[in-house]
Amino acid sequence: MKIAVINEVSARDKNPMIVEALENRGFDLFNVGMKSGDDNPSELTYIHTSLMAAILLNLGAVDFVVGGCGTGQGFLIASMQYPCVYTGLIVDPLDAWLYSQINGGNCISLPLNKGFGWAANLNLKIIFDKLFQDEFGAGYPEARKASQKQSRERLQAISNYTHRSMEEILQETDEEILKAIFSYPDFKELVQGEVKDKRLQNFIIGNYL
């Protein structure tokens, strides 16, 4: 599984803890947002990081995104404005496991300032333990498995017809936002790398890189 970690400005100091909690699990990790001690002059808010998440997921450059913000709410709301992004707000390990089993989405939002106190690094580790413990979308409880699968499929269909394409969205996006996100070399490199949607990739490279 390819996982992108995308931190915004208010939580960039938490970035090393997130990466450490995800390491040694057999994933391909891509740390493409703000980092502790980052000297990039472009500050990323959840407005930027949610768009970055949407671009990577729609390209098929990664399979999963770990994001968040101070409360987790901003990134959650912003990321859900885009097609094919299914984000869960994850506060504790039970949230993580239930999200993986019932919702089976592709993006999570972590509260990285609110309530982020003593043993928060352990909470992150156990969150990821539970998030990736079982096959996504297995269902819980067992009797609801078929219904939950149907709901996920219906949500995907709803997302397809209620959103404009990523190309249209990018064309309407503020140029300053686009300049900021593509100024991050790790993000830019991932966008230009191996992806599933070559058409979208060619559009991005031709217009923004």
Average pLDDT value for the chain: 96
CA distance 98 to 88: 10
| Location of structure tokens 């709803």 | 158
The two three-digit tokens of residue 85, written as one number: 């992004």
Helix 198-208 and helix 46-59: axis angle, to 10°? 140
| Span 103-159, pLDDT tens digits | 999 999 999 999 999 999 999 999 999 999 999 999 999 899 999 999 999 999 999
Q: Are 22 and 129 in contact (CB under 8 A)?
A: no
- The two tokens of residue 119 are 């043993």
Report the Cα 163 to chain-centroid distance in Å.
Answer: 18
Domain hosting residue 77, numbered range:
2-208
Q: Residue 44 — pLDDT band, cuts 50, 70, 90?
A: very high
Percent of the chain with pLDDT strictly greater than 90: 96
How far apart, in whole angstroms, are the C-alpha atoms of residue 10 and residue 43? 9
CATH number at residue 80: 3.40.1400.10
pLDDT-derived band at 38, boundaries 50, 70, 90: confident
From 1, 8, 3, 25, select the one nearest 110 (Cα to Cα). 8
Total count of domains within the chain: 1
Give pTM, 2 decimals: 0.96
Task: Please determine, for residue 41, whether its predicted confidence score (pLDDT) is greater than 90.
Answer: no
